[in-house]
C-alpha cells in the first residue's frame, strides 16, 4: 500500500508518478483498514507499506496494528525521516515485522545532493534505532551514474552502521527516474567497476553482510519477469485509492483503474479489466507470442514496453529479440557518450510541479 505521496525528500530516481500532486485526496484510515481486511480474506499475506514516506501518515501505527492482527507480514519501506524512538517503539508494539531503510549515498554531500535535503545523520540515528528494537538492519541504496562509483564507500558505511543486508538496486526508469534517465544511466565501464568493487568487498575476511546487487536491465538481453506477470501476485493501492497491478501501471493507456473507495478488492482482483488484461499470454504480440521463453519472463515489463515503444503489448525492448531493442542500446550508447557526470537539468521530485521546472543550479539553493 502506497500510503501517501507526501515525502520530505526529492529524489531524482523516485518511481512515483510525475503527476502525483494532481491525484485525488488520500484515503482515510478506515479505508485502509477495510482494504487490509478484504485483501487478507482473499489469501494475501505480504504487506509492504511505502509511499512517498509512510511515516508522514500519523495513523501508520493503527494500520500496522490492524494488519498484524489479521496475520499480515508487514514490511515498512522508509527513508527514516520522521522516525523517532517513540514511533519505532509503537510500531514494534503494533506488530511491525521488518523495516527497510533507504540511503541515497554514502557521503554526506552526495546524499544531501541526491535527496535534496539534509538527512544523512538522521539515517545513521534511525539505523541505530532499528538495531536497538531488534529488527534486522536492511539497507537499500538506489544506484545510478552519480553514485555508482561510490559503491565501496557505500558498503563501508553500511558496515559502519551495522547493516546485515544491503540491497544495491540499480535505478529502474519509471516516474521521475524516467524523466532523468539520461542523467542517471551509468556507463558500461562504471557498471563493470562497481561489480569488481563488490566482488572484492564480498571477499574481505570477516565480511558478514549479505549484499544483493540488482543489475540494471538496460544492460541485459532478456527482460525481467516483471511482477511475475501483471495480475499474478501483486496489487498496489495508491494514496488516492487507485488499485494497480504494479507501482507504475497508472501510466498505461486505455484503462480505467478501479478504486478501493468504490470497488471491493475481490472484484478488483478477479473482475477488473485492469487486472485481467495482461494475465496469461493471450495479449502478446510477436516475438513474444511464439517465444519459448514467454512463460519465463512474461514478455518483461508492460510499463517499459509502453514508455519506450508506445505500445504496452509489445515485447519489453530490453529483450534482444524485440525489434525495438535498439531503443535500449541507443540509451546505453548515449550514456557512454556522455562525459563526466553533468548534473545540469536533473529534475527533483517535487509536489509543486506536475510538469517539472526545478533545475539544478537555478533553484537548488532555495531548498
Q: Which residues bind another protein (CB under 8 A)?
A: 43, 45-46, 48, 71, 73, 75, 97-98, 100, 134-136, 138
- CA separation for the pair 74, 293 (Å, rounded): 33
Closest separation between CB of residue 356 and another protein, Å?
Answer: 31
Q: Cell 529502474, residue?
A: 172
Q: Please, are residues 288 and 273 in contact by the beta-carbon 8 Å criterion?
A: no
- CA separation for the pair 163, 174 (Å, rounded): 28
Closest separation between CB of residue 246 and another protein, Å?
Answer: 14
Closest separation between CB of residue 101 and another protein, Å?
Answer: 13
- CA separation for the pair 146, 106 (Å, rounded): 12
Closest separation between CB of residue 16 and another protein, Å?
Answer: 19
Q: Please state, in angstroms and as integers, the Cα–Cα distance from residue 188 to each residue in 9, 193, 202, 264, 364, following that order.
A: 29, 9, 21, 46, 30
Closer residue to another protein in complex, CB, 76/346: 76
Closest separation between CB of residue 13 and another protein, Å?
Answer: 20
Question: Torsion-angle region of residue 80: left (phi > 0), alpha (psi -120 to 50) or beta?
Answer: left
Three-state DSSP class for residue 186: coil
Closest separation between CB of residue 90 and another protein, Å?
Answer: 19
- Degrees, nearest 5: CA angle 140-104-115: 140
- CA separation for the pair 208, 155 (Å, rounded): 11
Closer residue to another protein in complex, CB, 76/114: 76
Closer residue to another protein in complex, CB, 75/343: 75
- CA separation for the pair 37, 186 (Å, rounded): 43
Closest separation between CB of residue 98 and another protein, Å?
Answer: 5
Closer residue to another protein in complex, CB, 42/215: 42
Closer residue to another protein in complex, CB, 228/354: 228
Closer residue to another protein in complex, CB, 136/264: 136
Closer residue to another protein in complex, CB, 79/117: 79
Helix-, strand-, coil-residue percentages of the chain, each rounded to 5: 40, 10, 50
Amino acid at each position: 500500500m502506497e500510503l501517501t505521496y507526501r515525502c520530505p525528500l526529492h529524489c531524482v530516481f523516485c518511481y512515483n508518478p510525475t503527476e502525483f500532486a494532481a491525484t485525488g485526496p488520500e484515503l482515510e484510515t478506515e479505508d485502509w483498514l477495510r482494504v487490509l481486511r478484504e485483501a487478507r480474506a482473499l489469501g494475501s499475506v505480504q504487506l509492504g507499506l511505502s509511499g512517498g514516506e509512510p511515516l508522514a501518515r500519523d495513523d501508520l501505527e493503527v494500520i500496522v496494528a490492524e494488519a498484524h492482527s489479521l496475520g499480515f507480514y508487514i514490511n515498512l519501506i522508509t527513508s527514516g525521516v520522521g522516525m523517532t524512538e517513540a514511533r519505532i517503539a509503537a510500531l514494534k508494539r503494533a506488530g511491525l515485522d521488518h523495516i527497510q531503510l533507504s540511503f541515497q549515498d554514502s557521503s554526506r554531500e552526495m546524499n544531501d545532493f541526491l535527496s535534496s535535503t539534509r538527512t544523512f545523520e538522521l539515517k545513521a540515528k534511525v539505523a541505530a534505532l532499528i538495531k536497538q528494537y531488534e529488527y534486522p538492519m536492511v539497507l537499500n541504496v538506489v544506484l545510478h551514474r552519480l553514485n555508482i562509483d561510490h559503491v565501496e564507500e557505500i558498503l563501508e558505511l553500511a558496515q559502519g552502521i551495522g547493516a546485515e543486508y544491503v540491497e544495491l538496486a540499480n535505478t529502474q526508469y519509471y516516474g521521475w527516474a524516467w524523466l532523468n534517465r539520461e542523467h542517471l544511466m551509468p556507463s558500461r565501464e562504471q557498471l563493470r567497476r562497481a561489480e569488481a568493487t563488490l566482488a572484492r568487498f564480498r571477499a574481505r575476511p570477516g565480511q558478514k553482510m549479505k549484499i544483493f546487487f540488482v543489475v540494471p536491465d538496460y544492460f541485459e538481453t532478456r527482460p525481467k519477469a516483471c511482477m511475475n506477470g501483471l495480475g499474478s501476485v501483486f496489487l498496489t493501492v495508491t494514496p488516492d485509492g487507485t488499485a494497480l497491478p504494479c507501482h507504475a501501471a497508472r501510466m498505461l493507456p486505455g484503462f480505467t483503474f478501479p478504486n478501493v473507495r468504490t470497488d471491493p478488492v475481490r472484484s478488483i482482483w478477479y473482475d477488473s479489466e485492469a487486472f485481467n488484461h495482461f494475465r496469461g499470454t493471450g495479449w502478446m504480440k510477436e516475438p513474444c507470442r511464439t517465444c519459448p521463453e514467454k512463460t519465463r519472463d512474461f514478455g518483461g515489463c508492460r510499463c517499459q514496453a509502453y514508455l519506450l515503444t508506445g505500445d504496452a503489448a509489445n515485447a519489453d525492448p530490453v529483450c534482444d529479440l524485440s525489434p525495438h531493442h535498439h531503443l535500449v542500446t541507443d540509451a546505453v550508447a548515449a550514456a557512454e557518450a556522455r562525459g563526466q557526470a553533468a548534473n545540469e537539468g536533473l529534475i527533483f521530485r517535487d509536489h509543486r510541479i506536475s510538469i517539472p521546472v526545478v533545475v539544478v543550479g537555478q533553484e537548488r539553493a532555495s531548498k
